[in-house]
Amino acid sequence: MNLLRSIPYLAMVAAVVSVPALSNADEGVDPQAVWKEIQALQKGPSIMPESKVLQPGSRTVDYYTTDLSNGLASLAIKKAGGIEKVRKYPNGSLLVKENYTKDKKLASITAMLKLQGYDPADRNWVMAAYDPTGKVLAFGKVGSCIACHDMVHKQDLVFAPPPAQLLPVSTWKGFFPKQAISPMYAKLLQEHPKSIVR
């Protein structure tokens, strides 16, 4: 292969494989290293396929959300033909949800990082939650996150953005008993009953 001709290909591969420092569970995983990768996604055009900027969130504390994905995750979604068709994300995939208040102020950031060998029972996802400054709110094998995301276990625990997939009210109340459902989300549940995950 001619090295000069391979440079565009190598650049494309480098862009897709953007989490090399976070791809081995044997070396552990650092919450701040994940935070740095999240910040890099926030700076680039990293909107997750099928997602929209400031789409409806499910709670009043995350009235709006924006989904981001790194190159590995985006490529998996595109190759499968959509989020609901992905059966396994590649090692190093990073998915991020920015959570905004009703007045569009960033309230928190949640993320899922696929890390080979990290937690095979739960598809090797590292779950994370941060405040807007990067302070860790939850990190690692977060049972409540896994339990909710297990509703879409066939698609490797990744929900499609609303209105494609919606939580049933009973499940929603079970996971968020002390929080109020967003009126926009309640409206989506009425308008898209076939999108409610069963």
Say if 57 falls within a structural domain: yes
Domain that holds residue 64: 22-195
Say if 165 falls within a structural domain: yes
Provide the β-strand partners of residue 128: 111, 139
Q: How confident is the model over 54-69, as a mean pLDDT?
A: 94
The model's pLDDT over 73-115, given as tens digits with 9 standing for 90+, comes to 999 999 999 999 999 999 999 999 999 999 999 999 999 999 9
Residue 9 has pLDDT above 80, yes or no: no
Say if 148 falls within a structural domain: yes
Q: What is the largest CA-CA distance in the chain?
A: 61
**Which three-class secondary structure state does DSSP give residue 177?**
coil
What kind and span of H or E run contains 34? helix 31-43
- pTM of structure: 0.86
pLDDT band at 25 (very low <50, low <70, confident <90, very high): low
Residue 11 has pLDDT above 60, yes or no: no
CATH number at residue 72: 3.50.70
Peptide bond preceding 163: is omega within 30 degrees of 0, i.e. cis? yes
Say if 17 falls within a structural domain: no
Say if 39 falls within a structural domain: yes
Say if 15 falls within a structural domain: no
**Number of domains into which the chain is organized:** 1
Say if 10 falls within a structural domain: no
